[in-house]
Structures are given as structure tokens and as C-alpha cells.
Structure 1
Amino acid sequence: MQINSMQEFSKNLKKIKIGNLHDDNIHIWKIDFTKISSNIKTYLYLLNNDEISRANKFLLKNKYKSYIATRIILKILLQYYINREGYKIQLHKNQYGKPYLKDNEIYFNISHTSDMSLIAFSKNKEFGIDLESNECDNNIVNISAKYFTQREKNWIENLPNNKKTKGFIYCWVRKEAYIKALGLGLSLPLDSFNVISQEQKKISDNKFQIKKWFLHPLDISINHLGAICIQAPKIDLIYFDASKII
């Protein structure tokens, strides 16, 4: 079964015509959970015992499915990018929980919402991505007051009422992408850095520089906002549909 499924994965990947991963591009795989078949559990052999144990702790079926789908597709794609059988791939974590490959030129990062995951890959460049749904149930005023800089709070406050929620998410994904790129998790206070310029007046697709890092917008869907942070002022973002793999 494992050999047959691996051959099928390789066949499907060739159909997609992925192309090579270069220093100046990022491959971003979109996982729409509504497109993932229930037979995803057929490929659980790709996960290690710790991953299976974590998956079994999810009480909600959609949480379980989204977790195993993301991890399985991650293993399949890692096999492609580093040319190694998925079930032999060992992932490590830094002290803040960011996963990585040891002694390898391939970097990856994951983000997810309730209905979609992103898995992105780069060559020789550390980076971070974040994805959020446009729908936000949080009290944006309280959250921004607690975690955002004064510049960001003022900017959100000056947006039209129907843009405030989107403005909050816009800042949030940028902050998350930055701290994920650094690999520091929430040990870095979110109000210790700005993700918009002093001159910015509206929500835009502009890039933004923080020290050596650059924030770029992601083009995911009309229902999501996303950002990537990488040490490159210009980067080619190439998108793929992960549902075509399995």
C-alpha cells in the first residue's frame, strides 16, 4: 500500500508541473479542507506516533481532519522537495515550537484557519507565513489595545467602521508572519514592532520593511488575508492546489 500510494503521489505531482524551487521564489500550497476526501486517513502511515497521538486528542471531526490532512500533505511535499520517503522524514522543533528540517536547505512554514491551511516552502531562506479568515469574532478594540502599537491602534481607529475588522486582521497576519519568521513565537511582544508605516492611510497590498525583514501580502482568496515575512524585498510567490495531490 505504501509503495503504491507513493507512486500515485509522484504521478500527481508531475501532473501539476511544479517546477524548481529557487532562491528567489516561494512555493505556497493551499489546502482547502472541503476538497479533502475522507479517505485521507488511508495515509496515516506517513505520520509518526507523536503526530497520531496529537491528532487523536481532537474531539471535533473537522479539527482532526484538518490536522491530519495538513500533516500528511506536508510529509508528501517534503518527500518531493528533499527527495526522501515521507515516513522517514524527521521534523525538529526549536525552543519556541517552530518545526524545521535539520541540516537541509529547504525551509517550510505552516498556517491554518478553520477551513484552509497553507504550507509554504523556500530554498535557503528562513521565513514565516500567516493566514486568517476575514470573519473575526473577537473584540478587535480590546485585542488591538492589548497587543498592538499606538501607531497601529490609531490606524485601525481611523479606518471606516466597515473596515476596522479587516484592518485588525491585516495587522495581525503581518505580526504573526514576522514572529514566525524569527522563530520566537509569542516570546516577542506584539506591541514591540510596527507592521504599517506612519504614512499609511488604508489597507493596501504594499510591502513593509522591519529591519532586514520584508512583509509581503498573500493572494489566497476573497475570504482570507495572509502575509509572508522574508529577508527579500522582492520574491516570486507561486501558488498550488494541494487537493490535486491525493
Structure 2
Amino acid sequence: MRSDERWSPAPAGAVALGADEVHVWRASLRPSAAALARMEAHLDADERARAARFRFDEHRTAFVAGRGAQREILARYTGLPPAAHRYRTTAHGKPMLDGGMDELRFNVSNAGDLALCAVTLGREIGVDLEALKPMPDGIDIARRFFSAPENEVFAALPEHERDVAFFHCWTRQEAYIQAVGEGLSMPLDRFDVEFRAGHRARLLATRGDPDEAGRWTLRELHPGPGYVGALVVRGGGWTPRLFDFDAA
């Protein structure tokens, strides 16, 4: 996606989702007190217990706002009340809607004061969001987590480009891992992503199955100043639509 991508106000009421569309929602994790109370009422017993375990109010607020927004967004597609959604997880912990709604796929990511929720019909999907920050140890972390080809590119970058490049690489890796659904069990050296400035974001190569890279579409997201994001979706020929979630 271009750097001038536009996040539009969401339409009122139910949202139609075509098979050739991918919807990405941007939500604040710092809603008003009234909105936060409404969102907390949507949570199930397990989510409430998790929220209660947070030591700091800001972390609890972010968790409740993220889960509450997720439930309200999905309700736009399912027609169910937000509190009625039930979830199950894959073997590697990827959440899915339960109750015969497998066709509606979603993935979420939180960072700082923002959350992203990506939604598709029948396509595997992954999204990642990160807040930019200085990375004085970026080279060392890259050596641990980037593939050999990615490390070669990263080490050759001018020093002033490395912080942003690090997070572009990281979000693209994480979005792909989320889409595949293997979680932390998937070694990062099994694939390479393009993250150089001025180059289109894409999955460059996959080891073990060379054709795998061509089965996915990787796009860069621009969620707002100080953030970078990435979206990975199975297959091509889809159109992204970007919405701002209004907690009111």
C-alpha cells in the first residue's frame, strides 16, 4: 500500500465483505471511560480474568479495549451481539471464531496506543503492528531472528536507515507467521521478506517449498505516525479497505 493510503470512517451498521476484499480496522487502545465500560461488558469470563491479572491500569485498559474493539468489529460481519462471539484456537494458538463461522477469518495486533484487526472471507490472514523506537542493538537482534539473506541486506544499510528497516522486516515476518498460523514454532530462517526502502513489500523466498512464496500477498501498512505495519493474505486479486474504528 502507498504511503498516502487512507483510513476511512467505517460505514454505519453491518459491513459487507466481498471474497475479493480484505478489511483492516484501526482502533485506539485509549477509549473514553464510557466506551471502555461498554467494551468490558462484552468480555467472557476468561477475558475478564486475564484483564484482572494486569498489574498496571494502562495495560489492563489496552487489553480490554483491544478485545472489546475486536468483538464489536466482528459483530459488524456476523450480525451477533459482541458478547455472543465464542472463540477457539488452532494447535499453535491462532484464534478463530467458533460456532460454524470458520469462513470469516481475522487476525489482530496491538502496539502502543493502537490495534489493527484484519478480516477476510475464506483466506488465511496475518497482520502485525509495531511502534517505532531506537534500536541500538538492532544488529545483534537481527543476527538472532532474521534469515541470512535478510541479515546481509540489513547490515549493508546506512546506519540512519536501520531502525525503520528493522521494524519493516519484523512486522512482515510476524504478519506471515500469523497468516501461516504456526506461531513461534516456525523458524524465521525458513523465509525471506523484502524490507528495503523504495522496494515493494513482498515475500521473497520460502525454503522447503519454493512455490510457497507465490501463494501469499504481502503489503505494507501505515497505521499512523510512529507506527509501521504489515498485512499478509493467502492468494492475490483482493482489494484492501481501511477503516477507523470509532469507539464513541
* Among candidates 90, 97, 103, match of residue 86 of structure 2: 90
Tell me the SS of whatever aligns to 2:192. coil
- Gap runs ≥5 in structure 1: 1-11
> Which runs of 5 or more structure 2 residues have no equivalent in the other structure?
1-8, 204-212
Q: Which residue of 2 aligns with 1:206?
A: 200
- With structure 1 as the length reference, what TM-score do the two structures score? 0.86
Supply the AA of the counterpart residue of 1:38: A
**Aligned-partner residue type, residue 19 of structure 2:** D
Cα shift readout 1:9-66 (whole Å, capped 9, x = no counterpart)? xxx9654x775211121111111234x1122123322110100000111111111111
Q: What residue is the counterpart of 1:4 in the other structure?
A: none
- The equivalent of 2:236 in structure 1 is 233
Paired residues, what number? 228
Is the 8 Å Cα contact of residues 205 and 217 (structure 1) preserved in structure 2?
no
**Runs of 4 or more above 6 Å deviation:** none
The answer to whether the aligner puts 1:184 opposite 2:182 as a matched pair is: yes
Residue 220 of structure 1, aligned match among 217, 220, 223: 223
1:53 aligned residue: 49
Between the aligned partners of 1:49 and 1:78, the Cα distance in structure 2 is 19
2:27 match: secondary structure: strand
CA contact (8 A) 1:170 1:203 kept: no
TM-score normalized by structure 2? 0.85
Counterpart for residue 108 of structure 1: 106
Q: Is the 8 A contact 1:134 1:166 kept in 2?
A: yes
Q: Is the 8 A contact 2:10 2:243 kept in 1?
A: no
Determine the C-alpha separation between the residues in 2 that align with 1:123 and 1:130.
19
8 Å CA contact 2:29, 2:66 repeated in 1: no
The answer to whether the Cα contact below 8 Å between 1:207 and 1:215 also exists between their aligned partners in 2 is: yes
User: Cα RMSD between the aligned structures?
Assistant: 2.0
Counterparts of 1:205 and 1:241, CA distance in 2? 27
Which structure features the higher share of helix residues? 1
Quick one: percent identity of the two aligned structures? 27
Whole-angstrom distance in 2 between the partners of 1:216 and 1:19: 23
Where in structure 2 are the equivalents of 1:35-50 lying within 5 Å?
36-39=31-34, 40-50=36-46
Residue of structure 1 in register with 2:154 after alignment: 156
Structure 2 CA distance for aligned equivalents of residues 94 and 110 of structure 1:
15
Could you say which residue in structure 2 is the equivalent of 1:23?
19
Deviations 1:182-239 (A, max 9, x none): 111010011221112xxx8x32351424241121111312321111111233432211
Where 1:20 maps in the other structure, the secondary structure is coil
SS in structure 1 of the partner of residue 162 of structure 2 = helix
Asked whether the equivalents of residues 42 and 71 of structure 2 are also in contact (C-alpha less than 8 Å), the reply is yes
Q: Alignment partner of 1:214: what SS?
A: strand
